[in-house]
Structure 1
Amino acid sequence: MSSSGRLEGWSAAGEPVSWWQGLIGCTAGLLIAVVTTPVGVSGAVFLLPVQFSVLNVPSPAVTPTNLLYNVVAGPGALLRYRRRGHLGGPLTRLLVLGTLPGVVIGALIRVFILPDPQVFRLLVACLLLPLGLWLCMRTLRPPRRHDTPEGPSPRAITTLAVAVGIVGGIYGIGGGSLLGPILAGRGLPVATVAPAALASTFLTSIAGALTYTVLALTTPGDISPDWALGLLCGLGGLIGGYIGAHLQPRLPETALRLLLGTLAIALACLYAAQGLN
């Protein structure tokens, strides 16, 4: 840290990161990951408004910064799930097969088609509102579980993963954060969905962050990640994710799902108002 209170890191806009920005980012990453990890959500979907509105990460650099957060934060929860023997399996392979190409396509769309911050806010609102309503609806009125243990067909899961990967690449959440609640809403056990969704998020976030880094070499504007804030937020998420995965068997799933759904709806309304203003 320098004498002016700046951390030895640089933002995407070329300005040094202040100590309070680093503290807010790390704390936000930790708290969000503790709450979201037990249901298979990395937390990037809720960290994005903090980076966008509080930490002033420019658009579209906020998207690869969120992907960088997933890369750093992911191993904490995945390590805990692996120790419990819940990591891996056919669901993880199907999700990764679809979201990996999807997130690259989404990154290209984000840079060349949706770079405007106002459009981005509206996109955030359109994404978070149905996600929040879905979580609340499926929590209050749980669907019947599938009669067969396979649940949705492998083709359906892969097709859904491609579509979600594209949205995830645009939004900076890797894709697994959307697949988790969708598959859980279809009746698949959270204990199976959560580690698979987080593993998909981790791998696709690596691909997405690399894509944005390559695009930054040839495309003008704030496209590369905010490395300092991404790493600091990810450090908090690394600790919080491990704690959240450890607490999963002890936390009431209904309360967590309702909390996530309500938060998503509130953030969607906020960004819709800002985007339309």
Structure 2
Amino acid sequence: MSWWQGLLGFVSGLLIAVVTAPVGVSGAVFLLPVQLSVLNVPSPAVTPTNLLFNVVATPGALLRYRERGHLGGPLTRLLVLGTLPGVVVGALVRVFLLPGPQVFRLLVALLLLPLGLWLWLRTLRPPRHPGAPDGPSPRGVTALAVAVGVVGGMYGIGGGSLLGPILAGRGVPVATVAPAALASTFVTSIAGALTYAVLALTASGDIAPDWALGLLCGLGGLIGGYLGAHLQPRLPETGLRLLLGTLAIALACLYALQALS
């Protein structure tokens, strides 16, 4: 790794986390195309490198949310309970069944584009019956978390970029979603990184993370995440929902273009 790659990784992690931390996204999902297309991290090593970024970066935002008393609660426990086993399954699938990045890009685009558009629609045109119960059931949250954990383990995206739009679209306040999604991302990223470290001892290919790059990106994300979480109370709920929807749509379009090029 050259000095400019390390500097670019640090700055990218910082800037991305500032924008994404207020809505519960670690930023790894946006860092992934930088690693693949600019920093030339090989596949599937890019996945554990992204998970390493999550492990280092998310404590910054979590610390800020904890200082405000927003960390913890039933939603956090449900998300961790589901994503933790899912990320291990996803890592196994990624290494042994689906090592290429093209399928991943199409998958993410197909998932995030309708999610982002749905969240925009739900924000700009709220339900006509405000008295209806908001949010999915606990069992539904756990099932969703398992599915997101599998995807996160396959591609090192943490899961907040998927959990955030879905839960916010179902009526859960972003201020509740953000710390829970980031806490889930942190715990599952540790499990995912350890799984890839074990697999690197038994399987061939570029499986181990790029430790230096992952740590530098993570240090940038650590600072950016704290700053982003600090900004969240100053942003209105409508603005946070639209920001989350915009991030989902932008990423879907980016990955669709890359997959089709």
Instruction: State if a TM-score over 0.5 links the two structures.
Output: yes
Residue of 172, 183, 197 corresponding to 1:199? 183
Q: Measure, in 1, the Cα distance between the counterparts of 2:170 and 2:223.
A: 30
Aligned residue in 2 for 1:158: 142
1:275 corresponds in structure 2 to: 259
From 71, 74, 82, the equivalent of 1:87 is 71
Relative to structure 1, the CA distance from residue 188 to residue 267 in structure 2 (aligned partners, 3 Å threshold; closer, same or farther) is closer
- The correspondence for 2:84, drawn from 78, 100, 119, is 100
Amino acid at match of 1:79: L
Q: 1:179 aligns with which of 145, 163, 182?
A: 163
Specify the code of the residue in structure 2 equivalent to 1:26: F
Asked whether 1:76 is paired with 2:60, we answer: yes
CA distance in 2, matches of 1:31, 1:146: 39
Distance 1:192 1:167, change over 3 A: same
Q: Distance in 2 between matches of 1:172 and 1:146?
A: 38
Matched, 1:216 2:203: no
Equivalent residue number for residue 122 of structure 1:
106
**Given residue 136 of structure 2, which amino acid in structure 1 is its aligned partner?**
P
TM-score (norm 1): 0.87
1:246 aligns with 2:230: yes
- Name the SS for the 1:216 alignment partner: helix
Q: Which has the higher contact order (CA 8 A, sep 6+)?
A: 2
Deviations 1:97-124 (A, max 9, x none): 0000011111111111111233333233
CA–CA distance in structure 1, aligned partners of residues 136 and 247 of structure 2: 28
Task: Give the whole-Å Cα distance in 1 for the aligned partners of 2:100 and 2:226.
Answer: 35
Structure number with the higher helix fraction is: 2
SS in 1 for 2:50: helix
Q: Which amino acid aligns with 2:150?
A: I
* 3-state secondary structure, aligned to 1:103: helix
**Do 1:124 and 1:171's aligned partners in 2 also have CA atoms closer than 8 Å?**
no
Please state how far the C-alpha of 1:147 moved relative to its aligned partner: 4.2
CA contact (8 A) 1:39 1:181 kept: no
Q: For 1:146 and 1:115, locate their aligned partners in 2 and report how far apart those are by CA, in whole Å.
A: 46
Distance 1:147 1:81 in 2: 29
The answer for the alignment partner of 1:6 in structure 2 is: none
Does residue 32 of structure 1 match 2:13?
Answer: no
> Is 1:136 aligned with 2:120?
yes
RMSD: 1.9
Question: Structure 1, residues 187-207: CA drift from partner, whole Å, max 9, x if none?
Answer: 111121111111001000100
Q: Is residue 177–residue 198 contact of structure 1 (8 Å, CA) maintained in 2?
A: no
The answer to whether the 8 A contact 1:61-1:223 is kept is yes
Count of residue pairs the alignment pairs up: 260
